[in-house]
Amino acid sequence: MLAVLCPGQGAQTPGMLEPWLELDGVGAHLASLSEATNVDLLTHGTASDADTIRDTAIAQPLLVAAALLSARCVFSNGVPTGSVVAGHSVGEFGAAALAGVIAEEAALALVTVRGAAMAAAAASSEPTSMAAVLGGEPEAVTAALAALDLTPANVNGGGQVVAAGAKTAISELVANPPERARVIELQVAGAFHTRYMAPAIDALAAAASGISPTQPTATLLSNADGDVVTNGDDALDRLVRQVANPVRWDLCMERMLELGVTGIIEVAPGGVLTGLAKRVMKGVPAVALKSPEDLDAARELVEEHA
């Protein structure tokens, strides 16, 4: 069984779309996606620097576009029936489109609203931040976050938790990490997937109200709990609510193992999720799409596992 994974914010790199645009049809595909957003996907995907594409309002639609562009290069007729599809955080929007719940253009339009609303929510709150906690005993990490009123915003598995909350509390966590753990503050606009993002829900819900979802054509997993989502309305509602709730990628990987996933394709800009899978889903072969040079390996894996 094949799993197709879409990475989340932080995976973007300067110029990441440039090599893909050399392939036939990709430029036209990007142009059609661009019509659904107010973000200049071509410029930001080829010429903008790291600081520019770190902006949440730019990064999110850019990542979803990269996922959809690269996925079509592997699956010209869509993700194979019976495959598992999942995305990390903003990657859920690409996953929803690949699973047939919403059209690609709807995914771009909706994620554009999401990115802008999350950026606005971060700007209007007290200073907030996020930090990766690597290693440490799970109980000690949980206790340290609770003591500082921090949220485990991303529980990624493999001993990686991303804490989020007040900037002062994140600074305290960095200065005094849990025993046997390393803490690295992340360059983000605010505390994503926490209560600080609650103001973004209304804007996203309003935008989603104009979308008519359909039933998933693949096995779609939810970040909320790793559950299989079988209803289009439920899938869309989960996309809206997830903006202010923790990502449980650990549960998504557990569910993939339970479902019998035997091969993984991580669409562009790949690398992060396959790295986590190597630590948690040991022995499951994976291909991360970083450039078109990875397409042959991806297609071979699809032939063997789809």
Helices and strands (H, E) in the chain, number of each type: 13, 11
Question: Any residues with CB less than 8 A from the CB of 202 and at least 6 apart, and which?
Answer: none
* 146, two tokens: 């609770």
Both tokens of 111, joined, read 């994620």
CA–CA dist 17, 111 (Å, integer) = 18
The Cα–Cα gap between 220 and 236 comes to 12
The answer to whether 197 touches 240, Cβ cutoff 8 Å, is: no
Which token pair is 218? 């693949």
Q: Which of 160, 139, 142 is nearest to 247 (CA)?
A: 160
Tell which residue, 289, 277, 285, has the closest CA to residue 157: 277
CA end-to-end span of the chain, whole Å?
5
**How far, in Å, CA of 214 to CA of 229, rounded?**
12
- 89 belongs to the catalytic site: yes
Polymer length in residues for the chain: 306
Q: From the candidates 34, 70, 89, 129, give the one annotated as an active-site residue.
A: 89
Annotated active-site residue in 29, 88, 193, 305: 193
Question: Which residues have C-beta within 8 Å of that of residue 210, sequence separation ≥ 6?
Answer: none
Any catalytic annotation for residue 88? no
Give residues with Cβ within 8 angstroms of 52, minimum separation 6. Answer: 44, 58
- State how far the Cα of 239 lies from the Cα of 12, in Å rounded to an integer: 21
Q: What SS3 class is residue 214?
A: coil
Q: Give the residue among 189, 234, 226, 179 at the shortest CA–CA distance from 208.
A: 234
Residues with catalytic roles: 89, 193
